[in-house]
Amino acid sequence: MRHKWVAMLVTLGVTAACAAPLPQLASNAQSVQVASSRVKANTWTDEVMYFIVTDRFNNGDRSNDKDVEPNNEWGYHGGDIAGVIAKLDYLKAMGVTTVWLTPWIDNDDIPLNLSGGRKLWGFHGYWPKDNQAVDEHLGTMATARSFVQEAHKRGMKVMQDVVLNHTGYQHPWGKGHKDPQDPHYNWFNHMGDIKNWDDPFQSVHGDLAGLPDWNQDIPEVSNYLIDNANWWVKQTGVDGLRVDAIKHVDHAFWRKFTSGVKSQNPNLMLLGEVLHGDPNVVAGYMRDGFDSMFDFPLYYGITDVFARGQSARKLGSLLGQDGAYPDGSFLTPFIDNHDVPRFMSVAGNNGKERLKGALTLTLTVRGMPCIYYGTEAGLKGGGDPENRADMPWNNLDADLTAHIKRLTSLRKQFPALGNGKQLEMWQDDQVYAYSRQAASEEVFVVINTGDRPVTRKIQLRAESKLADGTRMTDQLGGQSIAVDGHSISVTLPARQQAILTVGTAARKR
Ligand SMILES: [Ca+2]
Ligand SMILES: [Ca+2]
Ligand SMILES: [Ca+2]
């Protein structure tokens, strides 16, 4: 979660309203053990994840369309969980295997009122109001359960987005968080808004734009949050949790959280979000017990190289730091999401070709790729909320969709693309190449990120088992080449890529 509107909200002054108090969940301090070491439970690298801002995706139930204002970019637009269920077959046909939705937890019921009559709603889901309910705009607990069941029926997995740093403005416990007389006063931090984002103490203990900040330092709170996460998993049967804003909570809590959740749900996949470009910072949270982390460092590299035309060596430099992670093979690479401008709004000329290059990298590089809804439509959008526009169902892009399907299909046909070891083969300012090597399979990916055609003679890695004379076929462009002198010679037009597999035939599309 990113809060570019922090200063704006503070300046304008926001209003929040009251809600009825909630019963407190029983504390379960005994169930929680602090992790002594990181236990590796899940590898989802052969998954393809698709991320949906539920309110903006598909309106499957008109009966929950209260507060809908299609022309208010900060308001509800009517999308819901039923709408996602209706599109599961569409997603499956594109090769998606895992779906992550923005938080479906009940959010604030009254908007923030900004100057000029503008109203900000929690359509994004990151303003929790009732920790044990589904938001009425998105569905009910039964709809959430049904979504998970329908996904499972299709062999797909579901990630639930959870917010453990803060509550919404109207959460019954949080709304009194500045009042020492409030019974839950100690459950929240009282530093006021984060002002210096580089100050680690402020970043953890300060408020994000006035959102009441949980005080995870006290066991009542940390146990409650862990119990609540386990409660949700039990209620809905999700396969994993995407955990929001973890850099705003202390490492000690995350160690307790990952251990406490895994002790109840050993197979649950935990994916953390730290919006930071330094692999060492992101790796520090993976060490707290998260199975995977969003690959924000590589995101910046993908944007710089593919959208902005900077040196392809940046990709090599970033992937060369995988050793910083406890498990560098299980990051979650992505091109863009709801907290950053969409790729198509950053890329200049030939944006669609550049996006296809970025997709080729994202869907063949190590880790579990994540595709943001609307990528298959070439959807544009700058900062939040422009990057959360409605899914343009009547304006999908056949070419982009076909490229995604081609890549997901290749991942199925060549498991090394999901599970193989990532080995760099070549880097220069314009070309980046790597192999994905499994026990009995090698796939080479060669990417021309530049605007000129290239030919490169690329030496195979010492680890390669391919003998001279081995024929290879490019599954994207169709060219056929032979290994010669433990090398391959690859020619690529501007902004094109090759995915080379052993054999003379292009696999069935
Ligand atoms: Ca609806
Ligand atoms: Ca609500
Ligand atoms: Ca915090």
pLDDT of res. 54: 98
Ligand at minimal distance from the CA of 139 is 1
Average pLDDT over residues 294-302: 98
Q: Evaluate if residue 208 carries a pLDDT over 80.
A: yes
Ligand 3 centroid, distance to 293 Cα (angstroms): 19
**CATH code for the domain of 464:** 2.60.40.1180
Ligand at minimal distance from the CA of 127 is 2
**Integer Cα distance of 70 and 79 in angstroms:** 11
Helices (H), 210-323: 219-236, 251-264, 279-286, 296-302, 313-319
Ligand at minimal distance from the CA of 169 is 2
Ligand at minimal distance from the CA of 66 is 1
Amino acid at 158: V
pLDDT of res. 109: 95
Indicate the number of domains in the chain: 1
Ligand 2 centroid, distance to 67 Cα (angstroms): 11
Instruction: State how far Cα 485 lies from the chain centre.
Output: 41
Ligand at minimal distance from the CA of 211 is 3
pLDDT of res. 502: 97
**Residue 358 belongs to a domain:** no
Beta bridge partners of 271: 242, 292
Ligand 2 centroid, distance to 411 Cα (angstroms): 39
Ligand at minimal distance from the CA of 136 is 2
pLDDT tens per residue across span 101-138:
999 999 999 999 988 888 999 999 999 999 999 999 99
Average pLDDT over residues 224-246: 98
**Residue 266 belongs to a domain:** no
Q: Evaluate if residue 504 carries a pLDDT over 60.
A: yes
Ligand at minimal distance from the CA of 110 is 2
pLDDT of res. 43: 78
Give the contacts of 253 (CB within 8 A, at least 6 positions apart).
Answer: 216, 217, 222
pLDDT of res. 507: 62
Eight-class DSSP state of 390: P
Ligand 3 centroid, distance to 246 Cα (angstroms): 8
Q: Evaluate if residue 39 carries a pLDDT over 60.
A: no
Ligand 2 centroid, distance to 434 Cα (angstroms): 47
Ligand 2 centroid, distance to 109 Cα (angstroms): 4
pLDDT of res. 114: 83
48 and 333 Cβ atoms separated by less than 8 Å: no
Ligand 2 centroid, distance to 129 Cα (angstroms): 7
Average pLDDT over residues 158-169: 98
Q: Is the dihedral of CA 88, 156, 362, 406 positive or negative?
A: negative
pLDDT of res. 178: 86
Average pLDDT over residues 268-276: 97
**Residue 206 belongs to a domain:** no
**Integer Cα distance of 118 and 439 in angstroms:** 58
Ligand 2 centroid, distance to 221 Cα (angstroms): 22
Ligand 1 centroid, distance to 445 Cα (angstroms): 42
Ligand at minimal distance from the CA of 204 is 3
**Residue 440 belongs to a domain:** yes
Residue identified by tokens 């093979």 is 329
pLDDT tens per residue across span 360-389:
999 999 999 999 999 999 999 999 999 999
Q: Evaluate if residue 313 carries a pLDDT over 60.
A: yes
Q: Evaluate if residue 44 carries a pLDDT over 50.
A: yes
Average pLDDT over residues 349-365: 98
Confidence of residue 31 (pLDDT cuts 50, 70, 90): very low
Ligand 1 centroid, distance to 63 Cα (angstroms): 6
Containing structural domain, residue 462: 422-502
Ligand 1 centroid, distance to 62 Cα (angstroms): 5
Residue from 206, 212, 369 nearest 299 by CA: 369
**Residue 497 belongs to a domain:** yes
Ligand 3 centroid, distance to 27 Cα (angstroms): 20
pLDDT tens per residue across span 185-202:
999 999 999 999 999 999
Between the CA of residue 219 and those of 163, 188, 291, what are the distances in Å? 18, 12, 24
Tell which wins on pLDDT, 435 or 22: 435
Ligand 3 centroid, distance to 279 Cα (angstroms): 21
Helices 351-362 and 398-413: crossing angle in degrees, nearest 10, is 20
Ligand 2 centroid, distance to 300 Cα (angstroms): 34
Tell which wins on pLDDT, 48 or 18: 48
Ligand 3 centroid, distance to 108 Cα (angstroms): 19
Ligand at minimal distance from the CA of 249 is 3
Average pLDDT over residues 397-417: 97
**Residue 472 belongs to a domain:** yes
Other Cβ atoms within 10 Å of 491 Cβ, number = 16
Ligand 1 centroid, distance to 164 Cα (angstroms): 26
**Residue 196 belongs to a domain:** no
Confidence of residue 508 (pLDDT cuts 50, 70, 90): low
Q: Evaluate if residue 354 carries a pLDDT over 60.
A: yes
Q: Evaluate if residue 40 carries a pLDDT over 60.
A: no
Q: Evaluate if residue 18 carries a pLDDT over 80.
A: no
Ligand 3 centroid, distance to 321 Cα (angstroms): 28
How confident is the prediction for the chain on average, in pLDDT?
92
pLDDT of res. 34: 35
**Residue 53 belongs to a domain:** no
Q: Evaluate if residue 359 carries a pLDDT over 70.
A: yes
pLDDT of res. 14: 35
Ligand 1 centroid, distance to 397 Cα (angstroms): 25
Tell which wins on pLDDT, 288 or 39: 288
Pick from 3-17, 81-95, 414-428: least confident: 3-17
**Integer Cα distance of 500 and 408 in angstroms:** 15
Instruction: State how far Cα 467 lies from the chain centre.
Output: 39
Ligand 1 centroid, distance to 70 Cα (angstroms): 12
Average pLDDT over residues 234-252: 97
pLDDT of res. 398: 98
SS3 290: coil
Helices 141-153 and 219-236: crossing angle in degrees, nearest 10, is 60
